[in-house]
């Protein structure tokens, strides 16, 4: 694939992720008319269920398709529809946005992994999401209802995707039909990775809640998270082992526990915390035989949905950080005892 083509495809993927989260953030960040923050909670729950837990059935659907970009086109069309029906039915718009988000995350991650240097491509794809979500949430809080011009963003991306229609990579049908053996030590290691990632997501939720009153810090955290995801893609291309992912998670927990009173320490901890996301997707895909769609759904969907339970369960930061660090340490000990688990090039 020519470098210019790879750049164009990756730019469309990354922009689609950012725009998707921007629209959702605006809808849910205060843009719903005549509602209080309390009234928006049910819609937040509905969106989270569709956008994150919904990624698993989406991955199941995509595993049976050799053209994942078609689902990305569908996601962009649903984003346009969500903005279009906003003034008629904000609730229906949120539902459309949640479904679009599930397809955008899974399709985008799966396609990014199929590009040349897929590890780094995945980092760049995942980075704009938190920036879009933060900016959209800020606009919802400060400017109110979702503006119709927001539909222009996914419309432009949809046109770009259609222009490059024949250039999108196709999924390997053989890869997506991985057998599901009974639980063994290999599966136990995968479950431990998912546990560590779930606690990582819970830590991220608590960090955002703790700093929600300061928009400047929130934007700094969003930028740090985006940089961390790019870092994670670069890291896993250089050191393709679970050991390095575990160490990054442990160091991030230490920074967030002992240096979070410093904005620099907090941002460094967040960057390392988020660096584990693209790295973990690559590990699940290439070490465990998980399809690109399902690996993306596990990390960007399942663990995020489960990590969100930290809020209704009222877990505190210290407990959650300790849990994440212990899970990462157990993962590190397992891989050191069994030898490095490296993905197949």
Give me the residue spans of the domains in the chain: 3-167, 182-338
At 188, the pLDDT band (50, 70, 90 cuts) reads confident
Q: Which of 249, 340, 299 is nearest to 122 (CA)?
A: 299
pLDDT at 292 over 70: yes
Enter the tokens of residue 136: 């959209």
Q: Which of 126, 100, 132 is nearest to 22 (CA)?
A: 132
C-alpha pair distances (Å), 25 with each of 98, 138, 241, 298, 337: 11, 8, 34, 22, 43
Q: Alpha-carbon distance 342 to 50, whole Å?
A: 33
At 176, the pLDDT band (50, 70, 90 cuts) reads very low
Per cent of the chain over pLDDT 70 is 90
- Pick from 34-48, 103-117, 303-317: least confident: 34-48
pLDDT at 25 over 60: yes
Using the 8-state DSSP alphabet, how is residue 52 labeled?
Answer: I
Mean of pLDDT over the chain: 87
pLDDT at 344 over 50: no
Query: What count of other Cβ atoms lies within 10 Å of the Cβ of residue 289?
Result: 15
pLDDT at 29 over 50: yes
User: In CATH terms, are 3-167 and 182-338 the same topology?
Assistant: yes
**What is the predicted pLDDT for the residue at 215?**
86
Please give the helix or strand (H or E) that residue 132 lies within, else none. Answer: helix 128-143
**What is the predicted pLDDT for the residue at 180?**
36
When comparing pLDDT for 284 and 180, which is higher? 284
Q: Alpha-carbon distance 333 to 339, whole Å?
A: 10
8 Å CB contact between 277 and 284: no
The domain covering 182-338 belongs, at the CATH homologous superfamily level, to MFS general substrate transporter like domains (1.20.1250.20)
8 Å CB contact between 113 and 122: yes
Alpha helices in 173-311, H assignment, sequence order: 173-176, 185-210, 215-238, 242-258, 263-287, 292-297, 303-307
Q: Which of 325, 313, 331 is nearest to 205 (CA)?
A: 313
Instruction: Give the global pTM.
Output: 0.89
Q: What is the CATH number of domain 3-167?
A: 1.20.1250.20
Q: Mean pLDDT across the stretch 240-263?
A: 90
Backbone angles phi and psi of 88, in degrees to 5: -90, -50
pLDDT at 182 over 50: no
pLDDT at 345 over 50: no
């Amino acid at each position: 694939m020519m470098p210019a083509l790879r750049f164009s495809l990756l730019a469309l993927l990354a922009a689609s992720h950012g725009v998707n989260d921007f629209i959702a953030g605006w809808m849910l960040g205060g843009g719903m008319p005549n509602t209080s923050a309390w009234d928006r909670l049910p819609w937040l729950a509905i969106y989270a269920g569709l956008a994150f837990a919904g990624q698993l059935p989406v991955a199941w659907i995509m595993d049976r398709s050799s053209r994942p970009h078609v689902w990305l086109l569908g996601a962009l069309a649903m984003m346009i529809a969500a903005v279009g029906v906003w003034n008629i039915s904000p609730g229906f718009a949120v539902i459309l946005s949640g479904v679009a988000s599930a397809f955008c995350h899974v399709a985008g991650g799966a396609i990014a992994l199929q590009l040349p240097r897929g590890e780094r491509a995945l980092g760049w794809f995942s980075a704009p999401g938190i920036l879009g979500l933060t900016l959209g949430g800020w606009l919802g809080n400060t400017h109110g209802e979702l503006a119709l011009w927001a539909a222009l963003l996914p419309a432009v991306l949809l046109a770009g995707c259609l222009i490059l229609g024949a250039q999108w990579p196709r999924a390997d049908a053989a890869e997506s039909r991985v057998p599901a053996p009974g639980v063994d030590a290999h599966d136990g290691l995968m479950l431990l990775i998912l546990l560590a990632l779930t606690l990582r997501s819970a830590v991220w939720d608590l960090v955002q809640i703790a700093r929600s009153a300061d928009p400047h810090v929130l934007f700094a955290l969003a930028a740090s998270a985006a940089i961390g995801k790019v870092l994670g893609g670069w890291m896993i291309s250089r050191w393709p082992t679970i050991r390095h992912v575990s160490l990054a998670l442990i160091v991030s927990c230490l920074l967030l526990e002992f240096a979070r009173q410093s904005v620099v320490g907090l941002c460094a901890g967040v960057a390392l915390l988020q660096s584990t996301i693209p790295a973990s997707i690559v590990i699940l895909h290439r070490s465990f035989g998980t399809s690109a769609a399902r690996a993306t759904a596990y990390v960007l969907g399942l663990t995020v949905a489960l990590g969100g339970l930290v809020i209704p369960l009222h877990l505190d930061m210290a407990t959650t950080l300790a849990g994440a660090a212990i899970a990462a340490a157990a993962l590190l000990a397992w891989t050191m005892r069994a030898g490095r688990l490296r993905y197949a090039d």
